[in-house]
């Protein structure tokens, strides 16, 4: 009960636009540097190189919340293009992750698609894979529509499905004709019981079902979790069905359970680290705290050092 209250509290804070603007003024000092590699790509480079050197692949995400005008959407698109060029320039083992609301979806579908094609053209040129992140349930349908349209034009694109939504099993079945490369996640937004499983037990069972279905269809699957039970389930599943290790990868967030990340690498599995950067860190940070309230201690430590 207390953990759920804390989760709801941090999700509420993460959706507060005033707090988001205020947080930008204070940089990454208030604990966010644990989860965010740097304010700029150059600031992040040392961390990215260290991850690659240890055997981790990466997916880069330029943070941004509440894009509500065309100028900001175009700027976010420019950041994504810059990241693609940066990955190529520094020969990083990295993909790119992005949110289509940052590309202008809430302004107009036309603007979003224009910006997405700019990004995808550059990604194709430089051989960089792009994953469209999933946001809250109200944008799930349109996100998948955008993915389907782009998948018919580009091979180097994937998207995300969320285990806590009731609709996801149907989405998975509908997507299969596109032979999608999918990241499967629990889901990090506060959703009503009308659309999402309220109990962790049900979310975990759906998570396992989605992993099994997608892997047994022969599709590449990114299992994005810090949950040891989901990791154990996946290991047993691939062993039982002789699924090759190049058909899947585990994904974890930068700064969360780094010791476990290294253990998985040493066991011979592929591991990709989701690495955010940028100064618009507040909403992302609040969702990380909501997912794992134990992370609050690291934020408090950062504040006390100031």
Q: By the 8 A CB rule, do 282 and 20 touch?
A: yes
Which residues are designated catalytic?
Answer: 133, 183
Domain boundaries, the chain: 36-280
Ranges assigned E (strand) in the chain:
57-62, 94-98, 130-132, 157-162, 182-185, 221-224, 248-253, 271-277
Query: From 3.90.870.30, 3.40.720.10, 3.10.20.30, 3.20.20.220, which CATH number describes the 36-280 domain?
Result: 3.20.20.220
At 184-195, the pLDDT tens digits run 999 988 899 999
Q: What is the mean pLDDT of residues 173-200?
A: 95
| Residue 136 clears pLDDT 50, i.e. is over it | yes
| Total-model pTM | 0.86
The 3-state DSSP class for residue 131 equals strand
Question: pLDDT value at position 190?
Answer: 85
Q: How confident is the model at residue 31 (pLDDT cuts 50, 70, 90)?
A: low
Strand partners, 185: 162
Alpha-carbon separation of residue 81 from 146, 160, 186, 188 (angstroms): 19, 21, 28, 26
Q: Judge whether residue 19 has pLDDT over 80.
A: no
In three-state secondary structure terms, 39 is coil
Q: CA-CA distance, 259 to 255, in Å (whole number)?
A: 10
Q: Mean pLDDT over residues 137-143, rounded?
A: 97
Of 59-63, 156-160, 233-237, 283-287, the one with minimum mean pLDDT is 283-287
DSSP class of residue 128?
A: -
Question: Could you tell me the end-to-end alpha-carbon distance of the chain, in angstroms, rounded to an integer?
Answer: 32
pLDDT reported for residue 6: 43
Q: For 66-122, write each residue's pLDDT tens digit.
A: 788 999 999 999 999 999 999 999 999 999 999 999 999 999 999 999 999 999 999
pLDDT at 279: 80
Q: Which residues contact 137 (CB under 8 A, 6 or more apart)?
A: 165, 167, 189, 191, 195, 196
- For residues 164 and 120, give the distance between their C-alpha atoms in angstroms, rounded to a whole number: 29
pLDDT at 304 exceeding the cut of 90: no
């Amino acid at each position: 009960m207390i953990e759920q209250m804390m989760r709801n509290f941090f999700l509420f804070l993460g959706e507060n636009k005033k707090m988001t603007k205020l947080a930008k003024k204070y940089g990454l000092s208030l604990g966010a540097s644990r989860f965010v590699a740097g304010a700029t790509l150059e600031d992040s480079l040392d961390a990215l190189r260290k991850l690659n050197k240890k055997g981790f692949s990466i997916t880069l995400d330029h943070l941004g919340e509440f894009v509500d005008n065309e100028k900001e959407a175009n700027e976010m698109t420019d950041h994504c293009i810059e990241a693609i060029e940066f990955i190529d320039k520094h020969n990083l083992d990295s993909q790119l992750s992005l949110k289509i609301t940052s590309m202008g979806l809430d302004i107009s579908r036309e603007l979003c698609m224009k910006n997405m094609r700019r990004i995808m053209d550059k990604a194709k040129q430089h051989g960089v894979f792009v994953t469209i992140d999933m946001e809250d349930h109200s944008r799930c349908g349109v996100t998948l529509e955008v993915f389907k349209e782009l998948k018919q034009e580009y091979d180097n694109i994937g998207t995300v499905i969320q285990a806590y939504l009731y609709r996801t099993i149907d989405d998975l079945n509908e997507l299969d004709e596109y032979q999608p490369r999918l990241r499967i996640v629990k889901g990090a937004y506060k959703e009503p019981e009308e659309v999402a499983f309220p109990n962790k037990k049900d979310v975990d069972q759906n998570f396992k079902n989605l992993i099994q279905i997608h892997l047994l269809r022969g599709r590449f699957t990114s299992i994005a979790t810090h949950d040891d039970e989901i990791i154990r389930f996946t290991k047993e599943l691939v062993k039982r069905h002789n699924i090759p290790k190049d058909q899947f990868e585990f994904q974890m967030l930068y700064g969360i359970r780094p010791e476990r990340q290294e253990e998985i690498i040493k066991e011979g599995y592929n591991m990709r680290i989701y690495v955010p950067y940028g100064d618009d860190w507040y909403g992302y940070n609040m969702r990380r705290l909501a997912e794992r309230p134990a992370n609050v201690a690291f934020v408090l430590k950062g504040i006390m050092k100031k």
